[in-house]
Structure 1
């Protein structure tokens, strides 16, 4: 499994779109689902690339090439999976202002699309004013945000304080792989917030959401 993700990482770094897609297609043909493709292949490949960068084995330019190829492969894989959306189930996704790492968030967005949600993906580095504008006009049931650095927690609180003033408050999913390395106790002061550490947490959220709907 690790060897597959490293092979994919090297294809990303070489800018090899065709080779990267062939690796993904091989696993799709073997019956692997989206959670496997996203978490065991794409995510682990990019984490390996991040390690190479930290060890000065590659440059920032190399990392940008890899990110571009990964983004393309992710989009190509996700497009045929999109289900006809259900107009009454809405979600929007964005990264906090200053946050440029967006691939994980895009994977979550793709999973929501695959589940038939009507989604808006606003990408990285979204200022609060535009997040509020979209929430007020699109009226999502779920808002997904992403952060990768613990130094962004004060800014996250600013966003959450603003959302807490909304008349109609969506459920908030906060995606981060920082996990237990950060103190998230302050989240208890807000309603309808869940911290998501992995795509498996997203899968469990879908299962819980489906259960709640079935009980209505």
Structure 2
């Protein structure tokens, strides 16, 4: 019979078919759907985050692992009772205006979701006005902004300034990331934190909330 550890390692290795088989085996053996998520699928994806941070896994492998985890989640999710999966918070993720790079931002979203956050992917090339409107409408706990260019990272400051002008800056935590971004820049534009990678972003969101 499949075990939690086995399923977790199948997620790490990105083995979608094996994840499906092991998830079904665990369900047939009477394991609780929420335990399968928390003790196997999330554990596997958390290990992926650590390996990625240590440069022992790379983006294509992380995406394969995420797809494998999603297969398992899709099997057990319909079996959960209402209220079983409580969100750790809602995060809007966006690549700022003028920037079309979104792989890093998407990785952060994957890691946040695997750690119990509700993620709203706003896409790429998103203007400060669009982000502020989303914050007003959706009332997230965290706004995450990504930029890969020194020219576009300035829109992070524009977004924070617009949040202040609209009187809602204190209603949302703002985190930033991307190759040219730094802790010093985060402090300069009065963001709530800087995350150098996906796993750090998860830890940062947990600390802020």
The 5 Å alignment of 1:107-126 reads 107-126=107-126
Name the SS for the 2:179 alignment partner.
coil
Report whether the alignment pairs 1:76 with 2:67: yes
CA deviations over 1:167-215 (Å, ceiling 9, x no partner):
35311110112355x9617x3452x521111234224325535xx7xxx
Residues 74 and 107 in structure 1, CA contact (< 8 A), matched pair in contact too: no
Q: Quote the RMSD (CA, aligned, Å).
A: 3.6
Q: Residue 184 of structure 1 aligns with which residue?
A: 185
CA distance in structure 1 between the aligned counterparts of 2:50 and 2:87, rounded to whole angstroms: 28
CA displacement 1:56-78 (0-9 Å, x = unmatched): xxxxxxxxxxxxxx86x465245
TM (normalized to structure 1)?
0.59
Counterpart CA distance in 2 for 1:112 and 1:22 is 16
Other-structure match for 1:91: 91
CA gap 1:25/1:139 in 2 versus in 1, 3 angstroms: same
Give matches, 1:37-76, under 5 Å. Answer: 38-39=52-53, 40=55, 41-43=57-59, 73=64, 76=67
The reply on whether 1:34 has 2:48 as its aligned counterpart is: yes
Task: Give distance in 1, aligned partners of 2:153 and 2:89.
Answer: 28
Q: Distance in 1 between matches of 2:110 and 2:194?
A: 18
CA contact (8 A) 1:92 1:143 kept: yes
Change (3 A) 1:183 1:81: farther
**Partners of 1:94 and 1:144 within 8 A in 2:** yes
The CA distance in 2 between the partners of 1:113 and 1:153, in whole Å, is 25
Quick one: structure 1 residues 134 and 144, their matched pair in 2 at CA, closer, same or farther if it must change by over 3 Å? same
Call closer, same or farther: CA 1:103–1:189 in 2, change over 3 Å: closer
The secondary structure found in structure 1 opposite 2:97 is: coil
Give unpaired runs (5+ residues) of structure 2: 1-10, 20-43, 78-83
Matches within 5 A, 1:10-29: 24-25=14-15
Q: Which 5+ residue runs of structure 1 have no aligned equivalent?
A: 1-20, 47-69
1:199 matched residue in structure 2: 198
Size of the alignment, in residue pairs? Answer: 160
In the alignment, is the contact (CA less than 8 A) between 1:95 and 1:146 conserved in 2? yes
